Structure formats: C-alpha cells, structure tokens
Amino acid sequence: MTRYITRFAPSPTGNLHIGSARTALINYIFKSQYPNSKLYLRIEDTDKIRSTQEFKDNIISSLKWLGVKWDNEPQIQSLNINRHLEVAHNLLKNKKAYKCICTEGQLGIQRKKINTGEIKSKKICTSCETNNEIQSLDKGYVTRIKIPTSGKETLKDVIQGKVEVNNTEIDDFVLVRRDGTPTYMLSVVVDDHDLGVNFIIRGDDHLNNYFRQKFIYQHMDWEIPQYAHIPLIHGEDGTKLSKRHGAVNLIDLKNDGYLPSAIINNIILLGWSPKNQDNEIIEINNIISQFEIKNLSKSASIFSYKKLDYFNNYFLRLEHNIKFFEAYCESNSLLKGYLSSDKEKLFRVFNVYKKDISKYIEIVNFSEIYFSKHFSKSHDEKFPEDFNNIFSEFLELIININKWEYDNVSLKIKEFIKKNNIKFPVLGKPIRYLLTNNYNGPSITDIFMILGKSESIERLKRHSY
C-alpha cells in the first residue's frame, strides 16, 4: 500500500479558521487511512509583518483541541530560508530562472497591457532575461522563474479532475525578492520536497498556484506530488464563510461551548456523505474507515450553524462527553466559580438543561438562579387562593421526604395532587416560581433535585400569605 506524506501548512496570520481546520482534518483523516503515512505541520511564517507568535500558538492549540494529530515537531518555515535561497541559486545557475531589475513603473505599464489584453501572455518581464549585464549583477535584482511561452499544462487533481492551463496564462513569478528573501511560492515547494511530501491536500484557492509551483519541481527535476484541492466553505448566503455568518475561528467556537466531535461531524459532511448511514451522526473513527477523498464534491459547500447546533446538542448529551463540560467550566470565569462552589449542583443543572441547549455557554444563564447567593427572601407575587390553601401541607410533605431521589419525590408530588384533587399547574407554577423566580422551566421535581432538599425548603419558605 502506498505510503503517503502529507502536510498542513498554515500561515500564522490569523486564528485557525473553520476552513483551514477542515483542510487539516482531511489531511489527518487521509494519512490515517494508510499505514506508515505521515502528516507534517508546517508554520509558513515568511510574511514577517502579518505573522505573529500568538496566531502560531492559536493554530497549534486549536488543532490539538480538535483532535488533529501530526508527526514530529511543527516545522517553522522561516528557519529554512538559507535552503530556499540555495535552490533559487541553483535555478539561476541552471538558467531555469533569471535576474530582473524592472522598476515598479515598468512593471505597471506591462501589467496594464496584460490586463487590457494588448499582450496575450502573462509574462511581465520581457527584456532582462536576455541582457547579459543584468544577468551578471550580484545584487539589486529579483529572481524570476522561467516559464515556457507556449504549450499547456495539465493537472489531474484528485478532487477537481483534469484542469488545463495554457502556459501563456502563467506568469514569470518572483522566487526571491529584491531584499534577498524567498517568496511563498519558492519556500512551499522546497519545504514540501525536502519533507518528501507526495500528496498535497489544500484549499482550491491554491489551484492556480499549482501551475506555477509545478515548474519549480520540474526545473529541479523533483517528483511532483499528487494534489487534492478542496473547495472552500461558504455561508448560507453563498459568500465565503466569514465573521458576518457567525463564529468562524475554532477558538470562538470553543469559547461558545462547541465540541470537537460536533465540529468534525459538521465539517466532514460538507461535500461528502457516508454510505448506508441512516442518520448524519458520525465520529472520527468511522469517518476514517469510510471517507474517500476522491468522492469529495468539487463545488463549494454551505456551512450551516443550525446543523452545527444539532450535532453539538447530540454530542454534549453523551455521558462520556461530560469531561468536555468540566473543561469548559474551567475556562469560563462564571462557571468556574460555580464549579468550585458546588460541582455536583452545576452538573445537575447541566443534566436537566442539556436537552435544551446547543452549546455550553447557554448553561451560564440557566445556572445563575441556582447559585444565586442573594435569592430574595420575599417576593411580591400574589398566588391564587387554591394554591395558598394547600401550601403548608405541601411544605410539610417536602420537609418529611426522607428519600430525596427523583422518582420518590415525583411520586410524592403526584400523590399530593391526586389527594387534593387539583390540576398540576395550580401547584406546579407557583412552586416553580418560588424556587426559581420563573413560572416556566423544568419540572419542579427536576428543580428540587438541582437545589437539594434544604435549599428547596429554604426557598419555599419565602412564601408569605
């Protein structure tokens, strides 16, 4: 079986976005399907102005949180600059690249001619290559790659299928800038080659770059990897997924209380669906055994927050995921306070409300009333006569319950209602109000269970009539 070497190569110019997380995830799934295959993480930090340590840390921690695992330590692209330059020198030496000293003004004129169609080829410099004086300069030039002026290139992309581009459409792009720094286009190819990368999965916004980068491989006599360019993710209005649609960075989804398994479930179903599956819930191991990269749709997929909420509600209710709730509470200042004051109570709140929430952050509002230290002793609500008439007997009943367990308390309440021949809301609504300052909410037995016996009694005693 083929051994694949893949990589995920983010630029640390922002926090990890859902779209990039999907690229990383697909790389991880793919490499996990082939024994002895590898996934490397490379931080492409050559854009010194926009790259920051904070974004780098965010990308690494978001990937770890999502469950994407890579091999070896992350590679830092800027540490390999000398190697990138060595390859550029090699290309110059072998006349696969040339020195160019065109000024911005000259390039601007040429660009205009290309854009208006006056010149049919995208080659921006037409004179430096043949000028011996320029070619023997030892500084003050950019290094440009040589690209054929006729013929066409074909890519057999695993997802996009056959893509053809005329060589006239490919520009003589810069490999090394005038200040001696290598460009992304050069660095990415050199690093991928040196790592032995033979399968590149990345966003289809890089599809055009294939037709440039392939010439570096070709000129160096290096084997060209296979490519799978995955389509971008759009919001429900059909435009590229952005902040306007909702949280788009993993850190924001994490802070809202989404679970990695829900995010994975949601993003893997964008453009792919498992066979013989009666519902849409699928977890990573199953994805790894069923996913086929070649079956990924080549058109852009729509990201739905409603779907994400549905998956998240499913995963947060699973018993074994309670550890994620605890971790979430640790990271949220209000919940952290509740966690240290009464962890069991907080978990009881969660267990009662979990069916109604789509993300952990919603628990913050629900918890407040149960942890309120200043739960008002008095209240100005006037309750109906038929409730007031039975209240002391009900309080007595609650005080006398010894087995404070859900089924028993619920049974006692039912018996009380029957014995007094009243409709449930006559008792339930005011009791719920006394316990939570709200006529609506979970069953009163649930509320009793959250509060515990003594606090429930204390709250019920607020009743004055």
- The residues that touch ligand GLU, with contacts defined as CB under 6 A, are 9-11, 44, 188, 202, 206
Nearest distance, CB of residue 192 and ligand GLU, angstroms: 8
Bridge partners (DSSP) listed for residue 271: none
Least distance CB 263 / ligand GLU (angstroms):
19
Rounded to the nearest whole angstrom, what is the least distance from the CB of residue 131 to ligand GLU in the complex?
Answer: 33
Element (H, E) at 229: strand 226-230
Burial degree of 419 (CB within 10 A; 0-12, 13-18, 19+): exposed
User: In terms of DSSP bridges, do strands 142-145 and 174-176 run parallel, antiparallel, or are they unpaired?
Assistant: antiparallel
- Nearer to ligand GLU (CB atom), residue 1 or residue 49: 49
For the bound state, the minimum distance from the C-beta of residue 7 to ligand GLU, rounded and expressed in Å, comes to 8
Nearer to ligand GLU, 206 or 379 (CB): 206
Nearer to ligand GLU, 16 or 269 (CB): 16
Question: Of 39 and 450, which has the nearer Cβ to ligand GLU?
Answer: 39
Least distance to ligand GLU, CB of residue 244, Å: 21
CB of 209 vs ligand GLU, minimal distance in Å: 7
Instruction: Name which of 55 and 370 has its Cβ closer to ligand GLU.
Output: 55
Q: Tell the smallest beta-carbon distance from residue 358 to ligand GLU (Å).
A: 30
Q: Are 262 and 4 in contact (CB under 8 A)?
A: no
- Residue 225 vs 441, nearer CB to ligand GLU: 225
Q: Which is nearer to ligand GLU, 63 or 188 (CB)?
A: 188
**For every residue of 309-377, which 3-state class applies, written as one string?**
HHHHHHHHHCHHHHHHHHHHHHHCHHHHHHHHHCHHHHHHHHHHHHHHCCCCCHHHHHHHHHHCCCCCC
Ranked by CB distance to ligand GLU, the top (closest) residue is: 202
Q: Which is nearer to ligand GLU, 11 or 75 (CB)?
A: 11
Residues 37 and 5 sit within 8 Å (Cβ to Cβ): yes
**Own/partner pairs for 164-169, CB < 8 Å, 24+ apart?**
165/208, 165/211, 168/120, 168/121, 168/122, 169/122, 169/211
Q: How far is the CB of 282 from ligand GLU (least distance, A)?
A: 26
Both tokens of residue 116? Answer: 């208006």
Q: Are 230 and 202 in contact (CB under 8 A)?
A: yes
Distance in angstroms (rounded) separating the CA atoms of residues 81 and 56: 18
Among 170, 157, 151, residue whose Cα is nearest residue 209: 170
The strand pairing partners of 202, in sequence order, are 229
214 versus 412: smaller Cβ distance to ligand GLU: 214
Phi, psi of 145 (to 5 degrees): -80, 150
Task: Output 44 or 446, the one with its CB closest to ligand GLU.
Answer: 44
Burial class (CB in 10 A: 0-12, 13-18, 19+), 165: middle
Minimum separation from the CB atom of position 63 to ligand GLU (A): 13
**How far is 321 from 319, CA to CA, in rounded Å?**
5
| Secondary element (H or E) of residue 75 | strand 75-76
State the nearest-atom distance from the C-beta of 279 to ligand GLU, in Å.
Answer: 34
Cβ closest to ligand GLU, residue 11 vs residue 265: 11
Of 260, 193, 256, which is closest to residue 222 (Cα–Cα)? 193
Rg (CA), the chain: 32
In angstroms, give the least distance from the CB of 83 to ligand GLU. Answer: 17
| Distance, CA of 21 to CA of 44 (rounded, Å) | 16
